[in-house]
Amino acid sequence: MKQNFLAAACLALGLLSSSCNKPVLPPEPVLPVPTERQLAWHEMEQYAFVHFTTNTFTNKEWGYGDENPSVFNPTELDATQWARVIKEAGLKGIVLTCKHHDGFCLWPSQYTEHSVKNSPYKNGQGDVVAEVEKACREQGLKFGVYLSPWDRNRADYGQPSYIEYYRNQLKELFTAHAPIFEMWFDGANGGDGFYGGAREKRSIDGRNYYDWPTTLAMIRGMEPNVIFFSDAGPDIRWCGNERGFVDETNWATITPDTLYAGKSGISDLLQTGSENGTHWIPAEVDVSIRPGWFYHPEEDDKVKTPEQLFDIYLSSVGRGANLILNIPPDRRGLINEIDVAALQGWKKLIDERLSNNLALNKPVEASSVRGKAPTYTAANVTDGNKDTYWATNDDVTTGSLVVDLGSRQKVGYVLVQEYIRLGQRVKAFSVEVEKDGQWVEVASGTTIGYKRIVRFAPVETQKVRISISDSKACPVISNLEVY
């Protein structure tokens, strides 16, 4: 009687093997692993970038810094429209260019005259940063800031006093608009600029001039959960291109030293990360819905189509990166109707193709289960719970999962996720479908990471198998979806 009770308790707890002799401990993490704030960032998956400043009115991409603030005159600016369109597209936040390279500030900073306060916008009484933040809060979107380190307007750019100016502005933003989920540090620096009338080329030693460690510590003190973006992290990295993809092989791990070395091939490295990188610094894919980052009327016929945006989704979110999709408001201060239509079409494609998970709550069989313990059972991958996972014994670094869809279904996508709290592991996998009693390979890949979506020519099948053929340690899979 007592033994039966013990066995039942063991099974209920799920922590012991079916023989109930010894506890089956979870796999040891494969280091490095993400921080809590990085995990929260991974789960956002996609958000918007909004580029808007005097460039919108002067039709430039990089303002020189000598623009008269009077050119900034959006007559119908409606931040609520931005936030609504962005939310309806399925994006989870907005990162706003509070100041681009021209130095013009979208808020009435007390430290400069080069801002909205000297523009016709709301007769100098407007504050675009505050309006966008408020609209984000109302729509349940997160808010992030871009503040260009390179400032082509400031006379003292290149001097120590500019660093103080830059930090003062960060204090203004982080004090008035907390919580801020992401801070974008742009590495661009073209050298020449207005610089208070000097109109010259200035070169700075980017690695030392900004004294980033002090600046980041200051911000972290104000906003402990902020995610810092820069080419090299520290929290998230640039993906190495502005065309909307990371490599099919995408490690969230990388060694920051290799990024600072300034050698050729850095873009390739940023696109793949490194299998044995020392830090968890996942990639963010930044791309614009239009050719430029700012609105230009002549690009109205070059807005990406819903299909192009869907491809970008698969090559960013579908490869374990996050997507920051730039949507630049036009001169009225509205997201243009053409962009709105493209976003709506894109959302429709995602909903049509990736919202009816045929594998949800369907039975799964695994090649083996860690210690034969229910805690690590195969069914954890289809239970819709991201906190449960299937794992194998430590000495098993290959394995497969077969999901039975219950009846023949037309399938064309498989979505897989590793339980990244225990590190990124998988190096090679394949997807097969059962056809006339045989397994037929329809796709294969390398890394999985936070999320991997593979697309293949649609096929009818009742059973789908995912096989892991190479992994840094025992595979730990939290989710498997089929569409």
231 part of the interface to ligand FUL, by CB under 6 A: no
**Looking at beta carbons only, is 328 or 475 nearer to ligand FUL?**
328
- Least distance (Å) from ligand FUL to the CB of residue 188? 3
Chain residue whose CB lies nearest ligand FUL:
188
The binder of ligand FUL chosen from 131, 151, 186, 418 (CB under 6 A): 186
Restricting to residues 58-77, name those near ligand FUL by CB under 6 A: 61
- Least distance (Å) from ligand FUL to the CB of residue 437? 52
| Interface pattern 353-392 for ligand FUL (x via CB under 6 A) | ----------------------------------------
Among 322, 348, 329, 331, residue whose Cα is nearest residue 290: 329
Q: How far apart are CA 94 and CA 82, in angstroms?
A: 9
- How many CA within 13 A on the CB side of residue 208? 3
- Least distance (Å) from ligand FUL to the CB of residue 439? 44
| Interface pattern 17-56 for ligand FUL (x via CB under 6 A) | ----------------------------------------
What's the Cα-to-Cα distance from 83 to each of 48, 320, 389, 393, rounded to whole Å? 9, 25, 35, 47
- Least distance (Å) from ligand FUL to the CB of residue 444? 33
- Least distance (Å) from ligand FUL to the CB of residue 44? 18
Is the peptide bond preceding residue 32 cis, with omega within 30 degrees of 0?
Answer: yes
- Least distance (Å) from ligand FUL to the CB of residue 58? 14
**Looking at beta carbons only, is 99 or 142 nearer to ligand FUL?**
99
**Looking at beta carbons only, is 61 or 300 nearer to ligand FUL?**
61
- Least distance (Å) from ligand FUL to the CB of residue 293? 4
Asked whether the beta carbons of 460 and 472 are under 8 A apart, the reply is no
- Least distance (Å) from ligand FUL to the CB of residue 473? 36
188 part of the interface to ligand FUL, by CB under 6 A: yes
**Looking at beta carbons only, is 288 or 400 nearer to ligand FUL?**
288
Judge residue 353's burial from the number of C-beta atoms within 10 Å of its C-beta, 0-12 exposed, 13-18 middle, 19 or more buried: middle
Asked whether the beta carbons of 231 and 237 are under 8 A apart, the reply is yes
The binder of ligand FUL chosen from 67, 131, 235, 286 (CB under 6 A): 286
| Interface pattern 94-113 for ligand FUL (x via CB under 6 A) | --------------------
Q: Enumerate the β-bridge partners of residue 468.
A: 399, 429
Q: Residue 47 belongs to what H/E stretch?
A: strand 46-50
**Core vs surface per residue 129-160: b (16+ CB within 10 A) or e:** bebbbbbbeebebbbbbbbbbbbbbbeebbee
**Residue count of the chain:** 483
13 part of the interface to ligand FUL, by CB under 6 A: no
**Looking at beta carbons only, is 98 or 405 nearer to ligand FUL?**
98
**Looking at beta carbons only, is 99 or 319 nearer to ligand FUL?**
99
Asked whether the beta carbons of 350 and 311 are under 8 A apart, the reply is no
- Least distance (Å) from ligand FUL to the CB of residue 89? 19
293 part of the interface to ligand FUL, by CB under 6 A: yes
Paired tokens of 324: 């920051």
**Looking at beta carbons only, is 99 or 451 nearer to ligand FUL?**
99
How many residues line the site for ligand FUL (CB under 6 A)?
A: 5
Q: Which amino acid is at 205?
A: D
**Looking at beta carbons only, is 190 or 406 nearer to ligand FUL?**
190
DSSP code at position 158: T
**Looking at beta carbons only, is 127 or 286 nearer to ligand FUL?**
286
Those residues whose C-beta lies under 8 Å from the C-beta of residue 5, and which sit 6 or more positions away, are none
- Least distance (Å) from ligand FUL to the CB of residue 51? 6
Among 222, 183, 173, 481, residue whose Cα is nearest residue 357: 481
Those residues whose C-beta lies under 8 Å from the C-beta of residue 320, and which sit 6 or more positions away, are 246, 250, 252, 282, 283, 447, 448, 449, 450, 451, 452
Give residues in contact with ligand FUL (CB under 6 A).
Answer: 61, 186, 188, 286, 293
